[in-house]
């Protein structure tokens, strides 16, 4: 609870060892993930870094990272970036492999991208995009890793009721065949919509 905090590798019997990471650009571990023995985190400069098993020095992977989510199968990292272009704040969603190599092209783009959520089998990534410009991406989308297609999950957003963005993280069922989206409806009531995937 003091300084950066400790990172512990905990065994199933309750014993643990403390892992030391040598990085002067970390005040605390705000964004953190682990996969296949690797430790992923963002530093104060919004750089996503990885520490390989048995190492203490991190490797820089991706810059301008607002948030990231590692797929359950550890093959992909979904990254929401934060960029400024001509005084305008924006966000893009990109998919990288575990080594930090860009996979394909841009998945989503808007003023803000939030609530990245992988399905349990890593076949789909759900995310929410907010854009002031009504002609831009707006609402909840699902990216299919096999086809590379991005689908809009209408009617969970409409230009008539732009507040219909998720109020809580997007949640998949354990089978990955259902996605729960919790929004504030027209009467300012919290409602959860469930989408079935075939």
7-154 CATH: 2.130.10.10
**Alpha carbon of residue 194 to chain centroid:** 20
* Alpha-carbon separation of residue 6 from 27, 48, 170 (angstroms): 12, 19, 29
Is residue 154 within 8 Å of residue 139, measured between CB atoms? yes
> Can you read off the two tokens belonging to residue 57?
């020095």
For 29, the enclosing helix (H) or strand (E) is none
**CA–CA dist 117, 103 (Å, integer):** 18
CA dihedral (162, 164, 170, 176) positive or negative: negative
Question: What pLDDT is attached to residue 162?
Answer: 52
Residues of the chain with pLDDT under 50: 156-160
Beta strands in the chain (DSSP E): 7-10, 16-19, 32-35, 38-42, 48-51, 59-62, 65-70, 76-81, 83-85, 88-97, 108-110, 112-118, 124-130, 139-144, 150-152, 171-172, 178-184, 190-196
Strands 190-196 and 88-97: unpaired
Question: What pLDDT is attached to residue 176?
Answer: 92
Question: What pLDDT is attached to residue 25?
Answer: 93
Question: What pLDDT is attached to residue 157?
Answer: 47
Which residue from 110, 140, 104, 103 is spatially nearest to 125, judged by alpha carbons? 140
> Can you read off the two tokens belonging to residue 14?
């309750």
> Can you read off the two tokens belonging to residue 4?
């950066």
């Amino acid at each position: 609870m003091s300084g950066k905090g400790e990172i512990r590798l905990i065994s199933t019997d309750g014993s643990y060892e403390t892992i030391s990471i040598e990085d002067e650009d970390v005040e605390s571990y705000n964004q953190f993930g682990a996969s296949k023995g690797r430790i992923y985190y963002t530093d104060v400069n919004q750089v996503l870094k990885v520490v390989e098993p048995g190492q203490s020095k991190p490797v820089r992977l991706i810059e301008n990272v607002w948030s990231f989510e590692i797929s359950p199968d550890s093959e992909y990292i979904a990254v929401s970036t934060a960029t400024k272009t001509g005084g305008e704040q924006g966000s893009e969603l990109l998919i990288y492999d575990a080594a930090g190599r860009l996979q394909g092209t841009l998945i989503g783009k808007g003023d803000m991208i939030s609530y990245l959520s992988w399905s349990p089998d890593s076949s789909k990534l759900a995310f929410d995009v907010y854009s002031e410009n009504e002609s831009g991406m707006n609402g909840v989308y699902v990216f299919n890793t096999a086809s590379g297609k991005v689908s809009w999950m209408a009617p969970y957003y409409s230009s008539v009721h732009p507040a219909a963005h998720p109020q809580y993280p997007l949640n998949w069922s354990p089978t990955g065949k259902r996605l729960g989206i919790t929004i504030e409806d027209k009467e300012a009531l919290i409602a959860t919509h469930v989408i079935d995937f075939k």
